[in-house]
Amino acid sequence: ETKKPAREVKTVCPYCGVGCNIYLGVRGDKIVSARGDTDNSVNKGNLCVKGRFGYSFINHPDRLKKPLIKRNDEFIEVEWEEALDYVAQKLSGYKGDEFASISSARCPNEDNYAVQKFTRAVMGTNNVDNCARSCHAPSVAGLAKIFGSGAMSNSIDEIKDASCLFVIGTNPTASYPVLGLRIIEAVKNGAKLIVADPRNINLCKHADIVMNQTPGTDVALIMGMMKVIVDEELHDQAYIDDRSEGFEEFKESLQSYDIETVESITGVDGELIKEAARTYASIKPASILYSLGITEHTHGTENVFALGDLALLTGNMGKPFGGVNPIRGQNNVQGACDMGCLPDTFPGYQKLDDPNTIERFETAWNVDLNRSKGITFPEMVMAAKNGDIKAMYIVGENPVTSEPDTENIKDAMNSLDFLVVQDIFMSETAQMADVVLPGCSYAEKDGTFANSERRIQRVRKAINPVGESKPDWLITSLIAKKMGAKGFDFKDASDVYDEVAKVSPTFAGINYGRIEDEGIQWPCHNEEHDGTPILHTEEFKTETGRAKFIPLTYRPSAELPDETYPLILTTGRSIYHYQTSTMTGAVEGLKKLYGEDYIDISREDASKLGVVADETVKVISRRGEIKPKVRITDRCRKGVVFMTFHFGESATNVITNSACDPISKTPEFKVCAVRVEKI
- Which parts of this chain interact with ligand SF4 (CB under 6 A)? 13, 15-16, 18-20, 43, 47-48, 50-51, 176-178
Q: Which is nearer to ligand SF4, 13 or 222 (CB)?
A: 13
Q: CA 445 to CA 438: how far, in whole Å?
A: 13
Beta-bridge partner residues of 667: 660
SS3 content of the chain, % helix, strand, coil (to 5): 35, 20, 45
Question: Which string of DSSP letters, residue by residue, matches 265-327?
Answer: HH---HHHHHHHHHHHHHSSSEEEEE-HHHHSSTTHHHHHHHHHHHHHHTT-TTSTT-SEEEP
CA distances from 488 to 115, 218, 291, 342, 391 (A): 11, 46, 36, 20, 21
Q: Which is nearer to ligand SF4, 19 or 340 (CB)?
A: 19
Is there a contact between 510 and 210 (Cβ–Cβ < 8 Å)? no
CA geometry: angle 127, 131, 132, nearest 5 deg = 100
Q: What minimum distance in Å lies between the beta carbon of 332 and ligand SF4?
A: 11
Q: Which is nearer to ligand SF4, 178 or 292 (CB)?
A: 178
Q: Which is nearer to ligand SF4, 48 or 123 (CB)?
A: 48
Q: What minimum distance in Å lies between the beta carbon of 515 and ligand SF4?
A: 17
Q: What minimum distance in Å lies between the beta carbon of 423 and ligand SF4?
A: 20
Q: Which is nearer to ligand SF4, 43 or 657 (CB)?
A: 43
Q: Which is nearer to ligand SF4, 51 or 531 (CB)?
A: 51
Q: What minimum distance in Å lies between the beta carbon of 58 and ligand SF4?
A: 14
Pairing of strands 128-130, 209-211: unpaired
* Closest residue to ligand SF4 using C-beta atoms: 51
Q: Which is nearer to ligand SF4, 48 or 121 (CB)?
A: 48
DSSP summary character for residue 637: P
DSSP summary character for residue 122: I
For residue 166, the surrounding DSSP H or E stretch is strand 164-168
Q: Which is nearer to ligand SF4, 18 or 435 (CB)?
A: 18
Q: What minimum distance in Å lies between the beta carbon of 575 and ligand SF4?
A: 9
Q: What minimum distance in Å lies between the beta carbon of 14 and ligand SF4?
A: 7
Q: What minimum distance in Å lies between the beta carbon of 278 and ligand SF4?
A: 32
Q: What minimum distance in Å lies between the beta carbon of 143 and ligand SF4?
A: 22
Nearest CA-CA partner of 267 in 221, 227, 199, 219:
221
Beta-bridge partner residues of 563: none
Q: What minimum distance in Å lies between the beta carbon of 16 and ligand SF4?
A: 3
**Who contacts 575 (Cβ-Cβ below 8 Å, separation ≥6)?**
48, 49, 50, 173, 174, 175, 177
Buried b (16+ CB within 10 A) or exposed e, 141-164: bbbbbbbbbbbbbbbbebbbebbb
CA distances from 37 to 23, 40, 137 (A): 6, 8, 31
CB-count exposure of residue 90 (10 Å: 0-12, 13-18, 19+): middle
Rg from Cα positions in the chain: 24
Q: Which is nearer to ligand SF4, 376 or 452 (CB)?
A: 452
Q: What minimum distance in Å lies between the beta carbon of 465 and ligand SF4?
A: 22
Q: Which is nearer to ligand SF4, 15 or 94 (CB)?
A: 15
